[in-house]
Chains A and B, each alone.
Chain A
Amino acid sequence: MFTYANPNRFMHLARRLTLPVWGLSLACLSIGLFMAFSAPADYQQGMTVRIMFIHVPAAWMSLFVYTFLTVSSIFGLVFRHPLGHVAAKSAALIGAGFTLITLITGALWGKPMWGTWWVWDARLTSVLVLFFIYLGYLAIWTAIEDPLQAGRVSSVLAIVGFVNVPIVKFSVDWWNTLHQPASVSRFDAPALHSDYLWPLLVMALGFQLLFFALWLLRMQTEIFKQKLRVRRLGLVETSNGTAG
């Protein structure tokens, strides 16, 4: 983990990884989408069942990315990993995006199935709260100018906000909700027919790779930005030095 603490070494790795990860992700997503559309229509839900292949992976990612963000924040705050805060910041906007996709596709799926865009049940509400926590996290980065300071303050919030992740995951078990309980990650066999399970898993892999591809890109941008900032500050100092 600390081998790549050096930004230059990380950049070297990131540059080589970006293209393959993008390629794999697009391959998985196209195969997954093809499988999703060739899967038989559900006897009850008809065509709308295909929304699942976007909705469920996005929902998994919204939780995965928040966990990733919290772990990176801990690395930044506790172990002083130089790239911890950058990693967390780069993940946040992508995670917020996945959460928004989850909410929107959920609403689109809810309208034909439940007859309403939105219900205030525990799962939907906790995912909405997750989205708000992402927004609060991002707000700190825009409000505090110094990246080191913003990194430390935002990681404390990220760790506090992690309380919500198990609530989202287990909301369907703890409360009797309209949203159905987990049907894939169960101790016994998944309660999903293999016609649906396989496209879903391929799509999930595609989403996971898509996250890493986007994250690598944002990491590189972020590191460039910070280098630019340091260089600008250096220029200001030298010009002040010659003036004085």
Chain B
Amino acid sequence: MSSFIALIRQDIALAWRQNSAGLSISFFMIAVALIPFGLGPDLKLLREIAPGLVWVALLLAVLLSLESIFQADLEDGSFDQYLLSDTPLEILMLAKGLAHWFGVVLPLVLTAPLAGLLLNIDTPSLLPVCLILLAGSPAMSFLGMMGSALAAGVSRSGLLAALMVMPLYVPVLIFGSSALSQILTGAATSDWINAVFLLLSIGGAALFFGPLVAAAGLRAFLK
């Protein structure tokens, strides 16, 4: 248990010091800000495509951060220490996933609705938008860590991880953006609250299977 907490604290401290969250947030903001340059500054159009746009940019930002979850550990040999440790590898992987969620995805999701202002989303909608993104965020971390672990140790692992994770992100993208468009068209809370539960249950399944798959993948790689 102590190594579990120590690992979380270490990873969050690392993420903080390397400014991983800051980089992801900047990437996300720039990606969103680039779209109006391509499409033209039509606010009505931007508002219409905002739900999908926010989700896609968010998932891309998370994909870029995935490489960092395991890369350093494999390079400096910490990973062999995990294998030798008394704590099961699956538990340590859970710690890695939680640290990634807390250190990178959570700050990203909390600041992402601000980008909504660039896309003409009105301020009262920002809170529900944040809620939807928050509900999808555990799935982003824990589905992402599967791909990251499977690709770890390969050169250009970021690209490979992205290729493997993108199909898994599809349900999150579908339910997430359909809920966002419902919010933006002024649907009642009862209409989109189901999507929140759906996203949370995807996240719950990912929370369970992510560490298992990541541990299996890394064992497969190292054995």
Q: Are A125 and B170 in contact (CB under 8 A)?
A: yes
Q: For residues 137 through 186 of chain A, which have their beta carbon under 8 Å from a beta carbon of chain B?
A: 139-140, 143-144, 149, 152-153, 155-157, 160-161, 164
In the complex, the answer to whether B213 meets A160 with C-beta atoms within 8 Å is yes
Query: Chain A, interface size: which category?
Result: 20 to 34
A136 contacts partner chain B, Cβ-Cβ < 8 Å:
yes
Select which of A136, A139, A156 is within 8 A of B167 by beta carbon.
A136
Contact yes or no, A160 B146, CB < 8 A: yes
Residues in B with CB closer than 8 Å to A129 are 167, 170
The complex places the Cα of A89 from the Cα of B183 at a distance, in Å, of 45
A contacts with B: majority SS: helix
Q: Which residues of A contact B167 (CB under 8 A)?
A: 129, 132-133, 136, 161, 164
A152 contacts B221, CB within 8 Å? yes
Q: Which residues of A contact B223 (CB under 8 A)?
A: 152
Residue from A77, A139, A160 in contact with B163 in the complex, judged by beta carbons closer than 8 Å: A139
Identify which of residues 103-159 in chain A touch chain B, using a CB-to-CB cut-off of 8 Å: 125, 129, 132-133, 135-136, 139-140, 143-144, 149, 152-153, 155-157
Q: What is the bound-complex CA distance between A156 and B170, given in angstroms?
A: 19
- CB proximity of B69 to chain A, nearest CB, Å: 16
Q: How far is the CB of A101 from chain B (nearest CB, A)?
A: 19
Decide: A157 near B160, CB < 8 A? Known: A133-B167, A143-B155: no
B146 contacts A153, CB within 8 Å? no
Contact B163 A136 (CB under 8 A): yes
Residues of chain A contacted by B154 (CB below 8 angstroms): 140, 143-144
Whether a CB of chain A sits under 8 angstroms from the CB of B164 is yes
Cβ of B217 < 8 Å from any Cβ of A?
yes
Complexed CA–CA distance, A153 and B164 (Å): 12
CB neighbours (8 Å) of B209 from chain A are 160
Asked if B61 is at the interface of the complex by the 8 Å CB criterion, the answer is no
In whole angstroms, what is the CA distance A139 to B170 when docked?
A: 19
Interfacial chain B residues near A133, Cβ < 8 Å: 167
How many contacting A-B pairs (Cβ < 8 A)?
A: 51
Determine whether the beta carbon of B150 is less than 8 Å from that of A140: yes
Restricting to B185-223, which residues have a CB under 8 Å from any CB of A? 209, 213, 216-217, 220-221, 223
- For the complex, is B17 an interface residue (Cβ under 8 Å from A)? no
Q: How far is the CB of A140 from chain B (nearest CB, A)?
A: 7
B168 to chain A, nearest CB (A): 7
List the A residue with the shortest CB-CB distance to B222. Answer: A149
Shortest distance between the CB of A230 and any CB in chain B (Å)? 19
Question: Is there contact, CB below 8 Å, between B217 and A156?
Answer: yes
User: Do B220 and A152 touch (CB < 8 A)?
Assistant: yes
Most buried by A among B166, B167, B217: B167
B213 partner residues in chain A, CB cutoff 8 A: 156, 160
List residues of chain A with CB within 8 A of the CB of B166. Answer: 132
Distance (whole angstroms) from the CB of A121 to the closest CB of chain B = 12
Say how far B74's CB is from chain A's closest CB, in angstroms.
13
Chain B residues near A77: list those with CB within 8 A. Answer: 220
One of A139, A152, A161, A164 near B160 (C-beta < 8 A): A139
Report the Cα distance A129→B55, complex, angstroms.
18
Given known pairs A133-B167, A143-B154, the reply for A149 and B220 (CB within 8 Å) is: yes
Given contacts A143-B156, A152-B221, contact A157 B150 (CB under 8 A): yes
Write out, one digit per residue, whether chain B residues 131-169 have a CB within 8 A of any chain A CB (1) or not (0).
Answer: 000000000000000100011001110001001101110
Distance between Cα atoms of A77 and B155 in the complex (Å): 23
Contacts of B216 in A (CB 8 A): 156
A140-B151, A156-B213 given; name 4 further pairs at CB < 8 Å.
Answer: A125-B170, A129-B170, A132-B167, A136-B163
Question: Can you list the 9 inter-chain pairs with the closest CB atoms, starting with the nearest?
Answer: A152-B220, A136-B164, A143-B154, A129-B167, A132-B167, A136-B163, A156-B217, A153-B220, A156-B216
Mind listing 17 A-B residue pairs with CB under 8 Å?
A: A135-B163, A136-B163, A139-B164, A140-B150, A140-B154, A140-B160, A143-B154, A143-B156, A144-B154, A152-B221, A152-B223, A153-B220, A156-B217, A157-B150, A160-B146, A160-B213, A164-B167
